[in-house]
Amino acid sequence: MELRRDLWLGLAALLAFNLVMAFGTVGLLTRIGPAVDRTLHENVASIQSAEQMLTLLARVGGRPAAPAERQRFVAAMLRAQGNLTEPGEADPLRAIDRDQAAALGGDAASRARVIEALQRLVDVNRGALWSVSARVRRLGTGGAWAAVFLAAMALTLSLLAGSRLPPHPHAARAPLRHARGAARG
């Protein structure tokens, strides 16, 4: 009876260990998703605003912008300013705000400065996306190696538990008896 109890306790401990490992791995991987989604949403929104401003500047060319075009540009600029999520976004947005009226009025030098500031804004947000991508890869790799380590521990524990069990006196003889019986016919 003691052997049966020891076997059940060992199996229960291994099962509990494997369940903790499985849920821990799932927990790690589910924590990554919302952080990635939030970063993507924030940075893609800023990139889209910059694209809208660049598109309007391209359409306007060297002529003064119509009032509707000015309104669309300012709306895109305000969306980008309201979505200030990265440390390097403030300077380009200030430069855009400072030069946008002259740029939309047809001033070539102001237009060039706004375009350069928009490029910096896009670069900052693109850099943030690359950064979160690298972080996710590191977390995923770390989680995978942690799961491998825990699985190796579970295997080691099961081997140790199996080696500590006393041999059953009839366990070694049973296969021999079956082989002899099969050989006799």
Instruction: Count the Cβ atoms, other than its own, within 10 Å of residue 47.
Output: 19
Q: What is the pLDDT of residue 70?
A: 96
Give every CB contact of residue 91 below 8 A, 6+ residues apart in sequence: 117, 120
Is a pLDDT exceeding 70 seen at residue 185? no
Alpha helix positions (H), 61-172: 67-82, 90-104, 108-164
Q: Average pLDDT, whole number, for the chain?
A: 83
State pLDDT tens for residues 153-168: 877 776 776 666 555 5
Alpha helix positions (H), 61-107: 67-82, 90-104
CATH topology of domain 2-165: Four Helix Bundle (Hemerythrin (Met), subunit A) (1.20.120)
Rg (CA), the chain: 33
**The two three-digit tokens of residue 150, written as one number:** 């825990």
pLDDT tier, 27 (very low <50, low <70, confident <90, very high otherwise)? confident
Residue spans of the domains in the chain: they are 2-165
State pLDDT tens for residues 53-105: 999 999 998 899 999 999 999 999 999 999 888 899 999 999 999 999 999 99
